[in-house]
Amino acid sequence: MAYGGIISVPRLHITGALLLTVLQHAVALELGQSCVNPSGESGSCILFRECQPLVDIFKKPFNTPDDTEFLQASRCGDLQGKPLVCCAGVVVEERTTLPEPPNCGTQLSDRIYGGQPTKIDEFPWTALIEFQKADGRSGFHCGGSLINPTHIVTAAHCINAIPRSWKPHRIRLGEWDLGSNSDCLDDFCAPQPVDLEIEKIIVHPGYDSRDKANLNDIALIRFKRDVQYSDVIRPICLPLSPSVRNRNYVGASSYAAGWGKTETASASDKKLKVELNIKSQEECAPIFARGGIFLKPSQICAGGVRGKDTCSGDSGGPLMRQVSGTWYLLGVVSFGPQKCGTAGVPGVYTNVMEYTDWIKSNIE
C-alpha cells in the first residue's frame, strides 16, 4: 500500500498497518532505547499509539508530504508487529532498567547428565563467564543469565570461591557449541557469539564462601557496554510481579540449561537442558541437614531423579520456568550432591524471588 493510502484508514483504529510498507530502512531499536527524531530532537523509541505528537499528525484531516515524510522517518523499530517511533521529549529510561514482558523471557524456539541438546536459539539469556588464569590461559567455568542489556545474574561462589589466581575476564553471550566456530543446526546458522568486558562485579554482602549452605549465593556482573539483542541474545524476565513472585512452584517442572561448566568440571561443548521438578523445603531440607547443611527459604531445591541434574547446567546458571508463555528466572545454580544425578538428592538453587529487591537496588 502506498503511504498516502493510509490516510483513509479510520482514525480510531491506529494499528500496526501504519508505515509498515514504507519503513523497511528504519534503524531497529528496542522499546525504551534513546533515539533522535527527524528534527534532531532527543527522544525515546516507544509504541506509536503512545506518542501523542505523532498521533496528532496522523489524525490530521489531511497529511501533507512533509507530514508523511516525518512519520516515515520517525519509525525506529517494531514490537510484535506494532510500530515503534522515536518520540521527542519522552524521558528515556536508564539503560539498566529491568525489562518486563513482553520484552523479556521470549525465544524463537518454543518448540545436562540426562540433558538434551538445546536448539541454537533456545534459552538465549544463558551466559558464560570466562576466567583468566595465572599461566595466561583462559576458560569458561561458570554461567549466568542475561537480565537486561548490561547485566547478568550469576552465583556469588563463581566470584568468591574460585582459585585466587583466577580473574573473571569476559562474559560470552549467544553461544551454543563451544567446539565450533560456526553454530548451525538444520537450515539455521546463528550470528557469532559476543564477548563483553566486565565493568563491575557485585557480590551479595551476605555471602560467605566458608558457609557450607552457600546462603546468599548470588552476584551481578555489569558489562562495559550494552549488548545488542538478537535471535540468540535476549534477556530472561525476573519474577517482579506479585502474581509470579508469590506463586507456589512446589511440584512444578522447571528447566536448567548450560554447558556443565563449574569451577572443576566441564560436561559438554553444546548447550544442554534438563527438566527438573521443584521440591518443597520440607522434603529437601532434611536430606542436606544430615550433612550439616541447613537450608533457608532463600533457597530452592529441584531435581533428585537419577541421571538428571544440573550437571548439565552451569554454576551460576539459570533455573527457569515458563509462566503464561514467558520464561522467568526462578533460581541460580548453587550446589548439589557430590555425584551429579544422584537419586533422591536434589540440587540447590538461590531463590531469585527472595532477591529481586537486592537486584533492583544494585543495577546502576
H or E stretch including 197? strand 194-203
Residues 14 and 130 in one domain: no
Tell me, yes or no, whether 70 and 157 share the same domain.
no
The neighbour count for residue 137, using CB atoms within 10 Å, is 8
Name residue 79's beta-bridge partners: 82
Residues 232 and 317 in one domain: yes
Q: Which tens digits make up the pLDDT trace of 114-137?
A: 456 678 889 999 999 999 998 889
Instruction: Supply the pLDDT for residue 16.
Output: 38
Predicted confidence band at 34 (pLDDT cuts at 50, 70, 90)? confident
Cα 272 from chain centre: 17
Tell me if 301 is assigned to some domain. yes
Task: Let me know if residue 109 belongs to a domain.
Answer: no
Q: Is 181 domain-assigned?
A: yes
Residues tagged active-site = 157, 217, 315
**In Å, what is the CA distance from 198 to each residue of 15, 94, 313?**
41, 19, 22
Residue owning grid cell 498516502: 4
Mean pLDDT of the chain: 83
Is residue 58 domain-shared with residue 126, that is, in the same domain? no
- Do 230 and 144 share a structural domain? yes
Identify whether residues 159 and 75 lie together within a single domain.
no
Residue appearing with cell numbers 558457609: 211
Please name the residues in contact with 52: beta carbons below 8 A apart, sequence gap of 6 or more: none
SS3 category, 63: coil
125 and 84 part of one domain: no
Q: Which of 50, 68, 88 is the last residue of a domain?
A: 88
Does 100 reside within a domain?
Answer: no
Q: Note whether residue 93 is domain-resident.
A: no
Report CA 169 to chain centroid distance, whole Å: 20
pTM: 0.72
Q: Any idea what the CATH number is for the domain that residue 70 is in?
A: 3.30.1640.30
Predicted confidence band of residue 172 (pLDDT cuts 50, 70, 90): very high
**Residue 43 sits in which domain range?**
3-88
Query: Do 175 and 234 belong to one domain?
Result: yes
Looking at the structure, tell me whether residues 142 and 217 fall in a common domain.
yes
3 state DSSP class of 195: strand
Question: In angstroms, how far is CA 208 from the centroid of its own chain?
Answer: 26
Give per-residue pLDDT as tens, 230-275: 888 999 999 999 999 999 999 999 999 988 765 555 567 888 888 9
Identify any residues that bridge with 108 across adjacent strands, giving them in sequence order. Answer: none
What's the structural domain count of the chain?
A: 2
Same domain, 62 and 125: no
**pLDDT tens digits for range 203-220:** 999 999 999 999 999 999
